[in-house]
A and B are shown apart, each in its own frame.
Chain A
Amino acid sequence: MSSPGSGNRIVQWIEYRLPIFSWLDHTVGSGYPAPKNLNYLWNMGSLAGVALVIQIVTGIVLAMHYVPHGNMAFDSVEHIMRNVNYGWLIRYIHANGASMFFLVVYIHVFRGLYYGSYKYPRELLWWIGLAIMLLMMATAFMGYVLPWGQMSFWAATVITNLFSAIPLIGEPIVTWLWGGFAVDSPTLQRFYSLHYLLPFVIAGVVIVHIWALHTHGSNNPTGIDVKGPQDTLPFHPYYTVKDLFGLGLFLIIFAYWVFYNPNYLGHPDNYIPANPLQTPPHIVPEWYLLPYYAILRAIPDKLGGIVVMGAAIGVLFLIPWLDTSRVRSATFRPIYKQFYWILVADILILGWVGANPPEGYFILIGQLATAYYFLHFIIVMPFVGWFETPRQLPDSIATSVLDKGGGADTAKEGAP
């Protein structure tokens, strides 16, 4: 691995004083070997990074025109939409960008879940990723409050009121969060401050995430470890180009929402200015929070609902130990693979229930889907790991790729 640009004297001069070129080469260059069998699901990490940058850039620009005050916030957003040059475009990119960010991050998480990327030695990598996801939820929630429409106001009210369920200190905490006796301008102003701060915190945690990733390298579709240079390709140019191609597709989908359907993922009630005296008849969160909302409402008890909703994410921190299988990738786990897809369906059902009012059979479906969600992690994961006979793993990443090239089955069937 000769250092890059070694012929260029300026590069050499800089490299001798600040070895940034060799650092880049080891991070995203030809000096970083990645498994040669990564599929397109491994594009989501870089896409999430791009989505974060898009949110930060558009957000900084919006902050030049937005006014974080209860009397002026709504009007300033309309000002951005109608008067500011390209304000409509920048705001639609920012609003839909949040959805696109969650979309790629959720695919990223489900990919990790399928291929066992959370297992030894990547447990901390998984935890750091979950921390990023929680930070994203907090950031997205506070950003949603800023336009100060009806949905903004009542989302702020309902979510901050979750803390009032804490025994004894709940009420003082809520008053402290609000800076008053109800959600009002002081609440909006602090949310604005934190909404500006948190993306940079996320960027910092992303660096730690990548650091942990590069310690043991990417997992791969077979879930088996890299055994030597024959199993890898240099990150540049192979995966830089693959990531860029994926980025092109991602931006096409992104542009569809921004230019052809910019309000589809939002809620029309948020174009009504915040009114503290009237709650909209049906309040729902954005799509990316619907499954958690369904879990919250499935429990007919205030504190219980909040505890269970928190546990829905908390249990994800435990899966490196709840999953008892020695095999990482679900590709080689015939039983677990089926449960995996049931879980995906279950989470989609939770999202659908969360979008509907808590009436009639939606209540029952929500409760069953919530029960199954926890059943999957607490019962199915350990027991399937113990009793399932996995299919035979390929000898190495290189042989699995070569077998595939012949057009035959990916993996030789074992004889269980």
Chain B
Amino acid sequence: MSTTTSGGGHGDDASRRDFLYIATGAFGGIGTALAVWPLIDQMNPSSDVLALASTEVDLSPVKEGQAITVVWRSKPVFIRHRTATEIEAARNVIVEDLRDPQADEDRVQQDKWLIMVGVCTHLGCVPLGQKATDPQGEFGGWFCPCHGSHYDTSGRIRKGPAPANLMVPPYEFLSDTTIKIG
């Protein structure tokens, strides 16, 4: 775009034309980019989807050793009422040796309640291990059937292709037996 169409010899003219070309091109380019943005942004979560961003759960019916799955932001959230053995297993680990080093204490607010998003950090499958009859992997936690990731009793990745621990969502205890996720 920097060449001029005139026959040459008009130095001033050429630079003015260059400026006009560049200014017109920039104006058109920026304008088009601005016009395209709504077409791209419409694919992001809509207001009603964003509005469903928190869920309250009553924990009182969940006995020790049991686990429940609730839905938050249309994703499964695992809530496990851990036994003393499971808590101990989660803490008897050298944190530095883990793929995604994180101490069990940093993943729970109350030791017995492990709350995390039940979505494998590899490619998004739901790991097995919520039911007593499910395979729970080599570390007594969860096992993802899609590509074979093993998670321990703190939901940390121990074996398989997943890069990170199961995510702990933001939550708070509203009372001893009620939590609000999100």
What is A's interface to B at a CB cutoff of 8 Å? Answer: 154, 157-158, 160-162, 164, 175-182, 184, 186, 190, 276-283, 297, 300-303, 305, 357-359
Contacts and interface: CB of A to CB of B under 8 A. Distances in A.
Contact of B45 (A157, A162, A181, A282): A181
Contacts of B123: 157-158, 161-162, 164, 302
Given A179-B45, A276-B76, A281-B145, 10 more contacts: A161-B123, A161-B124, A181-B74, A181-B75, A276-B75, A277-B69, A279-B146, A280-B145, A283-B125, A301-B161
B126 A278 contact: yes
A325 to B, nearest CB: 39
B122 A302 contact: yes
Contacts of A186: 45-46, 49
Given A158-B125, A279-B125, A180 B49 contact: yes
B45 A175 contact: yes
B161 A300 contact: yes
B44 interface: yes
A155 B146 CA distance: 11
Given A181-B49, A282-B145, A358-B147, A276 B125 contact: no
A181 B73 contact: yes
A182 B75 contact: yes
Given A179-B44, A184-B74, A158 B146 contact: yes
Contacts of B46: 179, 186
B125 A154 contact: yes
Interface residues of B, number: 29
A277 B126 contact: yes
B74 A182 contact: yes
A279 B44 contact: no
Contacts of B146: 154, 158, 279, 283
16 contacts: A154-B125, A158-B124, A158-B125, A158-B146, A176-B40, A179-B45, A181-B49, A181-B75, A182-B73, A182-B119, A184-B74, A277-B69, A279-B146, A281-B128, A302-B122, A357-B148
Interface in B12-70: 40, 43-46, 49, 69
Contact of B71 (A180, A190, A277, A301): A277
Contact of A175 (B44, B69, B122): B44
Given A181-B73, A181-B75, A283-B146, A176 B49 contact: no
Contacts of B125: 154, 157-158, 279, 283
B117 to A, nearest CB: 9
B53 to A, nearest CB: 8
B163 interface: yes
B162 interface: yes
Contacts of B75: 181-182, 276
Interface string B133-153: 000000000001111100000
A302 B163 CA distance: 7
B132 to A, nearest CB: 16
Interface string B80-106: 000000000000000000000000000
Contact of B44 (A176, A184, A278): A176
A182 B45 CA distance: 10
Nearest to A172: B44
Nearest to A306: B123
A179 B43 contact: yes
A181 B122 CA distance: 16
A302 B161 contact: yes
Nearest to A159: B123
B124 A180 contact: no
Nearest to B148: A358
Contacts of A278: 126
B147 A179 contact: no
A128 B162 CA distance: 35
A303 B146 CA distance: 17
Contacts of B43: 176-177, 179, 190
A277 B76 contact: yes
B126 A279 contact: yes
A282 B69 CA distance: 21
